[in-house]
Amino acid sequence: MDIAGKVAIVTGGGGGIGGAIAHALVDAGAKVVVTDLDEATAHDVAAALGESAAAIGGDASSDEHIDAAVRLAENSFGPVDLYFANAGVGVGGGVDTEESVWDLTLDINLRAHIRAARRLVPGWVERGSGYFVSTASAAGLLTQIGNAPYSVTKHAAVGFAEWLNITHGDDGIRVSCLCPMGVDTKLLRSDDDSVTEDQKLMRRAVETAGAVLTPGAVAAIVLEAVADERFLILPHPEVLEMYRHKGADYDRWLRGMRRYQTALRGQ
């Protein structure tokens, strides 16, 4: 898809990968609505982008917020061409994770994607075009040591993106799924003093698995993939090799991951 002249919505756009994608989209000639739970950060990003951007605060998993973001885009710029389901959370730990944390993670990392697609896909089918970009994670192809809710919901996000691509790819709808490893964002490097041991383990696993990229570097790769209409976006190419090893011998891969986990816990 040619980005120039298109209208996009980016959730979680107040910083990190989402903020970088918003900047890259505008640089490529698109109009963008930036949404974030932290309304002030969304407006800061939009203000930096000038007349090509608008902002709205709210919960990316809320039907009401999704509707409001779509209305803002339509009223400001025109029909929505691209939706970047980028908002995400990385809270949680093991089997003792509270139900409320599971609910939050399922809502933001998965149901937000489903609800946005439910709002936009019927109109895109009528128009014969539209683009949905899901921010999942390498954890959705592999797994995430130290965080069960994150791993499970990112697997589910990949699955939903695959289903959407298969079901509506012949209707003119394009779907991409972003699966990075480490990216230098607050999700990875929280400054919260209440970080748990499981979250520290998760961070060590990510930081030792490969390079930690800047959000800007990831955004550039995302836009290249959208231009090529490529489904799987892997800013860390080594993820593909890891995924192939997993599929080739699942039990051997699981044993290797257990050894890796033991080594990380000893650090």
- Which residues are designated catalytic? 150
Write out the H or E segment, with its range, that includes residue 38.
none
- Phi, then psi, of 122 in degrees rounded to 5: -55, -40
Outline where DSSP puts E strands in the chain: 7-10, 31-36, 53-57, 82-85, 130-135, 173-178, 232-233
CA quadruple 61, 90, 160, 134: dihedral sign: positive
73, exposed or middle or buried, with CB in 10 Å at 0-12, 13-18, 19+? buried
How many angstroms separate the first and last alpha carbons of the chain?
45
Enumerate residues 6+ apart whose C-beta is below 8 A from 47. Answer: 53, 55
DSSP, residue by residue, 177-227: EE--S-BSSTTTS---TT--HHHHHHHHHHHHHS--B-HHHHHHHHHHHHH
User: Between the CA of residue 140 and those of 50, 101, 145, 177, what are the distances in Å?
Assistant: 35, 18, 12, 10
Q: In this structure, what is the dihedral angle of CA atoms 211, 215, 221, 227, given to the nearest 10 degrees? A: 170
1 three-class SS: coil
Look up residue 139 and give its two tokens: 């954890």
